[in-house]
């Protein structure tokens, strides 16, 4: 498994130009032509990301995130879920780097092989930063009304979060 | 809904900082956040430029079309309203496979490219089409086979078995993805049946924010 993940990218990077070359595509010119798109797309995302990042960091710095998690603490303990996990559930859909930092922190404090470390790893690996994905993908094509996309994304985050805890308690608990 | 969440996070943040008395931290957070936004976007430039260059090669050589034909049935089931042999299929597939291998950085440019193709088919350029919502649902659930980053972090902290979370991650991600696909399907059907009931406003023109079904 580890070997696959290490070799996956190099193989793809080598194979695509080779395949194109064999098909008599002008590889370098075509590459540069396509690459030009990357620049403008990345730039067009800036306003969307700035808006989102500001809101998220205000929410976090004010202590609102912390307060939300401490309210839910007692309820979670009753279910056998370590409350330390809770902030991750709220952070995960909001910020990828923030939740990765929090996961690393949990692993650092409780150890990678503790139940908290395992749950945190599973949550981090099995869900994605919904707000970021939404912002970047819709921002890149200028969609203003996301219709039901956000609700579906957040719903699957909640389900993924619960599933991660459930399977970890089942397998490692 | 995104308007409400955005406004809500900022307002709740300022109310909390008034209560907690840490308004300086929050003011600083505004500028930090803005900077992070720009930094992340600029960080994306290098990856986007490289992968989109490579993807153009895959497209022009016919590789994308080949892959799309191979995995066609599954993707056609998920995206019934995209015409057969449309280039969007190739990008959606590359986006999904990059996610499967936990290559988040490689998945983003292909997902964006798929969105741009879907936007060409979209009658209302301001509002997401059902296909766009499905693509987003698949990405937010992030179908992962190998959580590469997490395994690396666990190795760093001397885990006895860094890869032991592969199994639980796979199960959790499968459940989340299934939930996302089902919720997406449900919303899509509601949208279509609602637009049939009320004559004006006809789909795909949902009239107002907050008026949206689901």
**Which tens digit of pLDDT belongs to each residue from B53-111?**
888 898 889 887 787 777 778 888 889 988 888 888 888 988 887 777 666 667 888 89
Question: What DSSP element (H or E) covers A65?
Answer: helix A64-78
Evaluated on CA atoms A103, A108, A109, A112, the torsion sign reads positive
- Which residues lie below 8 Å from residue A57, measured CB to CB, with a gap of 6+? B29, B30, B32, B33, B36
pLDDT at B54: 86
Q: Give the whole-number percent of chain B exceeding pLDDT 90.
A: 30
- Nearest-Cα distance to chain B for A4, in Å, is 9
- B176-205: average pLDDT: 79
Higher per-residue confidence, A107 vs B64 = A107
pLDDT at A159: 93
Evaluated on CA atoms B104, B109, B112, B114, the torsion sign reads negative
Higher per-residue confidence, A82 vs B97 = A82
Q: B10 in helix, strand or coil?
A: helix
Q: Hey, is the C-beta of B205 within 8 angstroms of any chain A C-beta? A: no
Ranked by mean pLDDT, the top range of A40-54, A81-95, B121-135 is: B121-135
Evaluated on CA atoms A143, B107, A130, B17, the torsion sign reads negative
Q: B81 in helix, strand or coil?
A: coil
pLDDT at B104: 63
pLDDT at A46: 86
Rounded to two decimals, the pTM is: 0.77
With b for 16 or more beta-carbon neighbours within 10 A and e for fewer, the A76-106 pattern comes to beeeebbebbbbbbbbbbbbbebbbebbbeb
- Least Cα distance to B176 among A57, A123, A6, A98 occurs for A123
Higher per-residue confidence, B171 vs B212 = B171
Flag whether pLDDT at B135 surpasses 70.
yes
Euclidean distance between CA atoms B189 and B184, whole angstroms: 9
Q: pLDDT band for position A121 (50/70/90)?
A: very high
Nearest CB neighbour to B126, from listed A31, A33, A145: A145
pLDDT at B105: 66
Angle at B154 between CA B98 and CA A105, to 5 degrees: 105
Q: B127 in helix, strand or coil?
A: strand
Residues 72-91 of A with CB under 8 A from B: none
- Least Cα distance to A156 among B178, B144, B100 occurs for B178
Nearest CB neighbour to B166, from listed A1, A93, A108: A1
Q: How far is CA A84 from the centre of its chain?
A: 19
Which range is least confidently modeled, B66-75, B164-173, B185-194? B66-75
Higher per-residue confidence, A134 vs A173 = A134
- A33-58: average pLDDT: 85
Residues 106-135 of B with CB under 8 A from A: 106, 108-109, 111-113, 115-116, 118-119, 125-128, 130, 132-133, 135
The per-residue pLDDT for range B9-39, each reduced to its tens digit, is 899 999 999 998 889 999 999 999 899 888 8
Angle at B107 between CA B132 and CA B1, to 5 degrees: 40
Q: Hey, is the C-beta of A55 within 8 angstroms of any chain B C-beta? A: yes
Residues 151-190 of B with CB under 8 A from A: 151, 153-154, 157-173, 175-177, 179-180, 183-184, 187
Whether omega for the bond prior to residue B201 falls within 30 degrees of 0, making it cis, is: yes
Flag whether pLDDT at B117 surpasses 90.
yes
Flag whether pLDDT at B128 surpasses 90.
yes
Q: Which residues of A touch B49 (CB under 8 A)?
A: 35-36, 38-39, 42
pLDDT at B201: 53
């Amino acid at each position: 498994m580890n070997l696959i993940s290490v070799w996956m990218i190099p193989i793809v990077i080598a194979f695509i130009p080779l395949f194109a070359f064999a098909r008599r595509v002008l590889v370098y010119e075509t590459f540069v032509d396509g690459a030009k798109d990357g620049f403008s797309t990345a730039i067009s995302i800036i306003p969307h990301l700035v808006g989102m990042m500001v809101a998220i960091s205000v929410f976090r710095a004010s202590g609102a995130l912390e307060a939300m998690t401490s309210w839910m603490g007692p309820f979670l303990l009753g279910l056998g879920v370590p409350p330390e996990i809770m902030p991750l559930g709220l952070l995960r859909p909001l910020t990828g780097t923030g939740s990765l930092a929090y996961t690393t922190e949990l692993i650092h404090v409780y150890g990678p092989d503790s139940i908290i470390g395992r749950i945190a790893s599973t949550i981090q690996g099995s869900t994605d930063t919904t707000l970021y994905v939404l912002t970047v993908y819709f921002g890149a094509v200028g969609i203003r009304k996301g219709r039901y996309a956000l609700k579906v994304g957040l719903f699957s985050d909640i389900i993924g979060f619960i599933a991660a805890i459930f399977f970890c308690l089942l397998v490692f608990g | 809904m995104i308007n409400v969440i955005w406004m809500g996070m900022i307002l709740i943040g300022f109310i909390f900082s008034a209560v907690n008395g840490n308004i300086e931290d929050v003011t600083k957070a505004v500028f930090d956040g803005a900077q992070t936004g720009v930094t992340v976007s600029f960080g994306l430039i290098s990856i986007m430029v490289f992968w989109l260059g490579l993807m153009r090669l895959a497209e022009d050589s016919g590789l994308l079309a080949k892959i799309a034909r191979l995995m066609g049935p599954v993707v056609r089931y998920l995206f019934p309203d995209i015409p057969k042999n449309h280039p969007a299929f190739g990008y959606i597939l590359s986006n999904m496979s990059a996610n499967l291998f936990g290559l988040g950085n490689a998945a983003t440019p292909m997902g964006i490219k798929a969105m741009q193709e879907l936007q060409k088919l979209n009658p209302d350029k301001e509002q997401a089409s059902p296909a766009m919502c499905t693509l987003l649902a698949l990405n937010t659930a992030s179908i992962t086979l190998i959580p590469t980053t997490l395994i690396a972090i666990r190795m760093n902290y001397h885990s006895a078995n860094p890869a032991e979370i592969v199994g639980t991650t796979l199960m959790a991600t499968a459940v989340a993805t299934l939930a996302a696909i089902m919720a997406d399907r449900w919303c899509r059907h509601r949208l279509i049946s609602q637009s049939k009931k009320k004559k004006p406003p006809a789909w795909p023109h949902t009239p107002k924010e907050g008026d949206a079904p689901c």
